[in-house]
Structure 1
Amino acid sequence: MENWYLPITIVPGLGLLILSTLNLMVTLNNEISTMVEYAKEQTMIIRKLAQLKLLNMAMVFFYVAVSLLLVSAVLDGLYTIKKIAFYISVLSIISALIGLFSLIIYSFRAVTIRQNQFKNQLD
């Protein structure tokens, strides 16, 4: 019962990742809506929709990580199920890492999409 609070200390960091990812999703959603409204470049809209899906996947993994961390803390604090709480904590960290890798992939693709947009505007 001595380390039940450790998983909880990670939750605020994941909360900030969720907030920043949500801001990215809103911005991307607005951009896609504008492109659809003016019927601009179908291929670019499809690429941006794929980006939106990637951000959504990252959000799901962050939500899963937070919920697993909270369950882990409760199991460790209220019950004497240390090993299970530890394994749940490891699962939550893996989930958070998958979410972070999704954001890294999103970032690389976002730069490529932006470059293509600027090249198309110059042509």
Structure 2
Amino acid sequence: MGKLKYSKDHEWVKIDGDRAYIGITDHAQESLGDIVFVELPEVDVKLDAGDQLAVVESVKAASDVYSPISGTVIEVNEELDASPELINENAYDSWIAILSIKDVSELDELMDETEYEKFCKEED
């Protein structure tokens, strides 16, 4: 699998061939607090970059999760239905959905780890 790429909305993307695993970052789960529910997307939904992918609800608030890239949902992480706290336990293993990638060049718009860390520091 490729390295992680990050969006300004605190989503991460991990590329595996023509598939993109998408989740929320550790920074995002920390600011949300204890996650109690994840509203997963429907399989076969086509999304453009920036479209709502999912909703993550914590004890503090509900937060939209946006798709960092365009593509079609080919799988959702059903483990999160029963155990949404997996995102708190390991945000980078707990993907929300897998998309088939529509336009690989969109990945160039995302940040690498160094850029994302800098972005988070500037935002705080």
- Could you state the TM-score of these two structures normalised by the residue count of structure 2? 0.29
Whose Rg is larger? 1
Identify, as 1 or 2, the structure richer in strand: 2
Structure number with higher helix proportion = 1
